[in-house]
Amino acid sequence: MTTPISNQEFQAYTEGRLPAPEKVADGVWTLPQRNHPGHMPFTLSYLVEDAEGGVHVVDPGWDLEDNAEILEAALARIGAGKPAPVSALLTHLHPDHTGLARTLRERHGTRVVLHRREHKAQQMYAQWVADESRIREDLDAWAVPAERYGEVLGYAAGSARVVVSADQLVDDGDLLQVPGRRLRVLHSPGHTPGHLCLVDEDQRLLFSGDHLLPRLTPGIGAAGGFPENPLELYLESLRRLSAYDDCQNLSGHQYRYRGIADRAHAIAWRHLHRTAEVEQVLTDDAGATVWQTAERLSWGRGWEALTRHYLVSALRQTAMHTALVRSGRHHNAFGSWQPMAPRTRTA
Ligand SMILES: [Zn+2]
Would you say residue 206 has pLDDT above 60? yes
196: CA distance to ligand 1 center in Å? 13
What is residue 168's predicted lDDT score, i.e. its pLDDT? 97
Stretch among 222-226, 274-278, 330-334 having the lowest mean pLDDT: 222-226
Average pLDDT over residues 127-142: 82
38: CA distance to ligand 1 center in Å? 12
138 in a domain, yes or no?
A: no
Would you say residue 110 has pLDDT above 50? yes
42: CA distance to ligand 1 center in Å? 9
CATH of the domain at 228: 3.60.15.10
Average pLDDT over residues 298-313: 89
Average pLDDT over residues 120-149: 84
181 in a domain, yes or no?
A: yes
92: CA distance to ligand 1 center in Å? 8
209 compared with 151, residue with greater pLDDT: 209
Domain that holds residue 90: 3-121+160-267
253: CA distance to ligand 1 center in Å? 7
146 in a domain, yes or no?
A: no
d(CA 249, CA 218): 15
Would you say residue 150 has pLDDT above 50? yes
| Per-residue pLDDT tens digits for 259-271 | 999 999 999 988 8
263 in a domain, yes or no?
A: yes
198 in a domain, yes or no?
A: yes
106 in a domain, yes or no?
A: yes
What is residue 297's predicted lDDT score, i.e. its pLDDT? 96
**Cβ contacts of 300 within 8 Å, gap of 6 or more:** none
What is residue 159's predicted lDDT score, i.e. its pLDDT? 52
How many independent structural domains does the chain possess? 1
188: CA distance to ligand 1 center in Å? 14
Average pLDDT over residues 150-162: 72
335: CA distance to ligand 1 center in Å? 28
33: CA distance to ligand 1 center in Å? 11
280 in a domain, yes or no?
A: no
145: CA distance to ligand 1 center in Å? 31
332: CA distance to ligand 1 center in Å? 29
292 in a domain, yes or no?
A: no
What is residue 10's predicted lDDT score, i.e. its pLDDT? 97
| Per-residue pLDDT tens digits for 63-106 | 988 999 999 999 988 866 677 899 999 999 888 999 999 999 99
